[in-house]
Chain A
Amino acid sequence: METVLSTQKLTKNFGRLRAVNQLDLEVKRGQVFGMLGPNGSGKTTTLGMLMGVVNPSSGSFSLFGQAATNELRKKIGAVLEHPIFYPYLSGQKNLELTAMIKGATADQITKVLHVVELTDRQEDKYRTYSLGMKQRLAIASALLSDPVVLILDEPTNGLDPMGIAEIRQIIKKIAADGKTIILASHLLDEVQKVCSHFAILRKGNLVHSGPVDEVGKGEETVEVLAYHDDLSVLLQEFSGTQSLVKENVNYVVKMKDGFHSQDLNRFLFEKGIVASHLVTQKKSLEKQFLEILAEEESKKQKV
């Protein structure tokens, strides 16, 4: 698969602060790539370097396998942090200006305004827009030149639940068109809902990178409840049990590798016990994220 974007040991220092540290990333065509990380982890700085507004301190990066130029940037639609437009120009005029820079045609403007449902307000000045409309106009301007890659940085920041749902819908629609999307966010379920791949940044360091599908693989965790006095003893006897804790009324069994919930169910049944509650806990990206961060933390403390 074609590499859309890659960084080699990309580093940025702001004075004594190292915002991005020796970052190696690779995004391939067609991926919906989520960049996760707490606030201030270097997501926006990284994207800023890729888009030519922040000068890297060291390291390099390439777009579409070539050294980055402003011409290549025209093939990328990007919104970093907040939407940025001329407040005294109308939505339409702002897009006309972007179209001039990107070399897009006038009928594209009509099209993207339709996609983000701003056609009714296109003649109004940008400063009269609500935050949600500003975000939508920003997505519209990113879509203008029919870009191969779309970079969205916290696109749902500060929106109400309805606005968030709308933006998510738009992102899904765009992803369905086969565009590569890079989505920076600190909202985990947002990434899990729309992304195919993800990377986790922390204080400028890359701590994890891989497909979202793999989240939830590995050992299973099963919640069990059955009316039997010695349930805890029995569960300890089960050969697939790695650890056991009691949470509220339920027992939570962490399984050894290769054992699944049906094995536990069969074991209980053979002992003559029928479970009244048996749930396989799906590992969420949130859990995974916290685990990865915790692992990093403990590694550091050992060092």
Chain B
Amino acid sequence: MLHLLRIDLKKLTSYRTFWVVCGLYFLTLAFTTASGMEFLKWLASKGTQFGTTLNINRIPLYHFPDVWQNLVFISGFFKIVLAIMVVISITNEFTYRTIRQNIIDGLSRWQFLQSKILTNLLLSLMSVVMVFIIGLVTGLIYSPEINLGYIFTDLEFFPAYFLEVFAFLSYALMLGLLVQRSGLTIIILMLSHMIEAIIKVNIPDRAEFLKVFFPMESISNLVPMPFARYAFQEIQDYVSLGSVAIALVWIFLFNYFGYRKLQKSDI
């Protein structure tokens, strides 16, 4: 297993695009998630101009345990960058035809796919670690009192975030295997949410209950939007087991479809 991961990492670590994209991903992720207070200050100054006052100290953006769900939710938007990297990595194998040589050299098709899935797992794990560290640091800075009980509350959002990123990367990998051309794959990937939204709008009311089973919807449902709570609204501040189950099924299906396609086609 580890051997297969090392093979794929060997391909990536000497590829400059990989470092640039991953660098951009982790930098924007870090800056965006860490600059929430600056954003609130800017919002408050704008508000003053219009005569409303916004007491930013009353919005506990970075207070434990709020910080976990807030950061994880925001970080979810950046997974598209990693997914594009995954698309480039798999479609390159088709444009350079190196997948063919890998298999001639003695990898099985399943082993080849495993090496890509393992990289997806690693990238998801690194995202989790990154967001956890940012959350911990900002939380320690901004929380008025450090309470271990609060710090360890709501940590379930991290496994949910892990599933969210991994499910989306699995989807990107499957698209890459099916389409095999980088440009087209990236376009489909970026439009996926929109295409799904159009379909959802058009389903009849009595089939409304099906909406939660849609792939993109199920991925976003893992970590619900938390910010409405600062406008005194009720939010879902937990991870629902139902959405975890649906996401797990999709993760399996994405990778299985990729596997089927790879087994059946001539390379």
Contact = CB atoms under 8 A, between A and B. Distances in A.
Interface of A: 48, 51-55, 69-71, 73-74, 78, 80, 84-89, 93, 96-98, 100-103, 141
A112 to B, nearest CB: 14
Contacts of B15: 86, 88
A85 B3 CA distance: 20
B104 A51 contact: yes
B97 interface: yes
A70 B267 contact: no
A89 B7 CA distance: 13
Given A73-B104, A85-B98, A97 B264 contact: no
Given A84-B96, A88-B14, A55 B264 contact: yes
Given A55-B266, A93-B14, A86 B102 contact: no
Given A54-B267, A84-B96, A86-B15, 10 more contacts: A53-B104, A70-B108, A73-B104, A80-B104, A84-B97, A89-B14, A93-B10, A101-B105, A102-B106, A103-B106
B8 to A, nearest CB: 10
Given A70-B108, A100-B6, A84 B101 contact: yes
14 contacts: A53-B104, A53-B267, A54-B266, A54-B267, A80-B100, A84-B101, A89-B11, A93-B10, A93-B14, A96-B10, A98-B105, A100-B7, A101-B106, A102-B105
Nearest to B7: A100
A78 B14 CA distance: 25
A80 B6 CA distance: 26
Interface of B: 3, 6-7, 10-11, 14-16, 96-98, 100-109, 111, 264-267
Contacts of A53: 100, 103-104, 266-267
Contacts of B108: 52, 69-70
Nearest to B107: A101
Given A53-B266, A96-B10, A97-B11, A70 B107 contact: yes
3 smallest CB-CB distances across A and B, nearest first, come from A74-B106, A70-B108, A84-B101
B7 A97 contact: yes
A97 B107 CA distance: 12
Given A70-B111, A100-B6, A88 B16 contact: yes
A103 B14 CA distance: 20
Main SS at interface, chain B: helix
A52 B103 contact: yes
Contacts, number: 73
A51 B103 contact: yes
A299 B92 CA distance: 48
Contact of B98 (A54, A73, A86): A86
A27 to B, nearest CB: 17
Nearest to B110: A70
A100 B104 contact: no
Contacts of A141: 105
Contacts of B267: 53-54
Nearest to B3: A100
Nearest to A80: B104
Contacts of A48: 266
A141 B266 CA distance: 23
A197 to B, nearest CB: 23
A48 B99 CA distance: 13
A52 B104 contact: yes
Nearest to B106: A74
B16 to A, nearest CB: 7
Contact of B106 (A70, A80, A86, A96): A70
A98 B103 CA distance: 10
Given A70-B107, A70-B108, A101 B266 contact: no
B216 to A, nearest CB: 33
B14 A101 contact: no
A220 to B, nearest CB: 44
A24 B128 CA distance: 55
B97 A70 contact: no
Nearest to B10: A97
Contacts of B106: 70-71, 73-74, 101-103
Contacts of A85: 96, 98, 101
B90 to A, nearest CB: 14
A82 to B, nearest CB: 8
A54 B266 CA distance: 5
Contacts of A103: 106
A75 to B, nearest CB: 8
A73 B11 contact: no
A103 B266 CA distance: 25
A272 to B, nearest CB: 67
Contacts of B16: 88
A74 B6 CA distance: 18
Contact of B96 (A87, A93, A96): A87
A52 B104 CA distance: 7
A256 B11 CA distance: 64
Given A54-B266, A55-B266, A100-B7, A86 B104 contact: no
A93 B101 CA distance: 15
B10 A100 contact: yes
Contacts of A51: 103-104
